[in-house]
């Protein structure tokens, strides 16, 4: 059974102040004067009709207006958020709306990692094309509809050594030799996250498939899907240590079992 992320806490309070680096409104003066000049940048108003026209931030979408990830290989604090109601995603605090983040992804709850946060706003990784995109969610409303939690887990995949290492904080839980994308269909690099957990009713090669918030850069679609890259098992253990897949990371059964217990939204860094 998948474990829930630990330490659920309420979203940011409305009285918090947005730092000058996010608001762009900081100025010179005394500390007290600067503090009074800082304020939460409100979001632009988005009507229901306008929201209905925005792309949903799912693995099936392309969101060309979304900003790029500012630090593609860095770890995060472990902060993750789950929308309890559909959330508008903005290009920047106070900027235009670029998408909506749905409550569910691939039949399960949406959990996305926060890569930067400040009073009033969270910047999160998005699971849509192109890879390495983010968006900002307003958290300082009178009735925030976000569940916030922390996960201490981190998955690292080294393509050069073809090794998967799983950490809980600073503790290494295990490391395994894995199979990665073939030269023509390479596994994309950077940071992404565990997007969902799928259990095929009639599995042919893996009892579980764990889609990531990444897509193949070589395949626009695969097997009827949008070319989503994932982690899954493989019945032939001779593939481990080789570059043979369509971009997914094939892992031994013990690794797959451990990953199945790690909360959605947990960070995966591929380098």
| Tokens linked to 99 | 């998408």
Whether residues 90 and 72 share a domain: the answer is yes
User: Would 175 be classed as within a structural domain?
Assistant: yes
Query: Is residue 134 classed exposed, middle or buried when 0-12, 13-18 and 19+ CB atoms within 10 A define those classes?
Result: buried
Q: Are residues 137 and 158 in the same domain?
A: no
Please give the DSSP secondary-structure letter assigned to residue 238. G
Q: Quick one: 173 and 243 in the same domain?
A: yes
Give residues with Cβ within 8 angstroms of 65, minimum separation 6: 91, 96, 98
Residue 244 lies in a domain: yes
- Number of structural domains in the chain: 2
Query: Residues 164, 134: one domain?
Result: no
Q: Where are the beta strands (DSSP E) in 153-227?
A: 153-158, 163-168, 171-177, 180-181, 190-193, 209-215
Same domain, 214 and 262: yes
User: Does 128 reside within a domain?
Assistant: yes
Given a contact cutoff of 8 angstroms between Cβ atoms, the answer to whether 157 and 144 are in contact is: no
Closest CA to 118 of 267, 10, 14, 17: 17
Together in a domain, 130 and 169: no
Longest Cα–Cα distance of the chain, Å, equals: 66
Check whether residue 13 and residue 95 sit in a common domain.
yes
CB-based burial of residue 27 (10 Å sphere; 0-12 exposed, 13-18 middle, 19+ buried)? exposed
What is the reported pLDDT for 224?
Answer: 83
Average pLDDT per block of 10 residues along the chain, 271 residues long: 48 27 31 49 96 98 97 97 96 97 97 93 98 96 84 98 98 98 98 97 96 96 92 98 98 98 98 98
Domain-ending residue, one of 150, 184, 205: 150
For residue 32, tell me if it sits in a domain: no
Same domain, 13 and 146: yes
Last residue of a domain, one of 128, 150, 172: 150
Helix (H, G, I), strand (E, B) or coil at 222: strand
Q: Is there a contact between 107 and 58 (Cβ–Cβ < 8 Å)? A: no
| 173 in a structural domain | yes
Q: Are residues 93 and 53 in the same domain?
A: yes
**CATH code: domain of residue 178:** 2.40.440.10
The answer to whether position 52 is within a domain reads yes
| pLDDT for 8 | 42
Last residue of a domain, which of 127, 150, 173?
A: 150
Residue 103 and residue 199 in one domain: no
pLDDT, position 177: 98
Same domain, 266 and 178: yes
Q: Are residues 131 and 157 in the same domain?
A: no
1 found inside a domain: no
Question: What is the domain range of residue 107?
Answer: 6-23+42-150
């Amino acid at each position: 059974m998948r474990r829930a992320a630990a330490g659920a806490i309420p979203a940011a309070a409305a009285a918090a102040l947005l730092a000058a680096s996010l608001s762009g409104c900081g100025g010179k003066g005394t500390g007290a004067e600067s503090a009074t000049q800082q304020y939460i940048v409100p979001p632009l108003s988005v009507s229901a009709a306008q929201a209905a026209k925005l792309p949903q931030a799912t693995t099936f979408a392309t969101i060309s207006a979304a900003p790029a990830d500012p630090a593609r290989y860095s770890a995060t604090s472990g902060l993750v958020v789950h929308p309890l109601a559909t959330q508008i995603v903005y290009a920047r605090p106070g900027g235009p709306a670029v998408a909506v983040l749905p409550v569910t992804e691939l039949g399960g709850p949406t959990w996305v990692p926060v890569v930067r946060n400040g009073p009033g706003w969270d910047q999160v990784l998005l699971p849509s094309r192109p890879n390495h995109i983010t968006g900002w969610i307003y958290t300082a409303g009178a009735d925030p509809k976000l569940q916030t939690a922390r996960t201490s887990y981190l998955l690292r995949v080294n393509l050069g050594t073809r090794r998967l290492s799983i950490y809980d904080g600073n503790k290494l839980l295990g490391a395994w030799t894995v199979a990665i994308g073939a030269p023509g269909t390479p596994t994309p690099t950077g940071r992404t996250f565990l997007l969902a957990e799928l259990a095929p009713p009639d599995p042919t090669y893996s009892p579980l498939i764990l889609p990531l918030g990444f897509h193949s850069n070589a395949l626009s679609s695969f097997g009827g899907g949008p070319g989503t890259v994932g982690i899954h098992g493989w019945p032939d253990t001779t593939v481990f240590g080789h570059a043979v897949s369509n971009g997914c990371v094939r892992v031994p059964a013990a690794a797959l079992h451990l990953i199945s217990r790690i909360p959605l939204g947990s960070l995966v860094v591929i380098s």
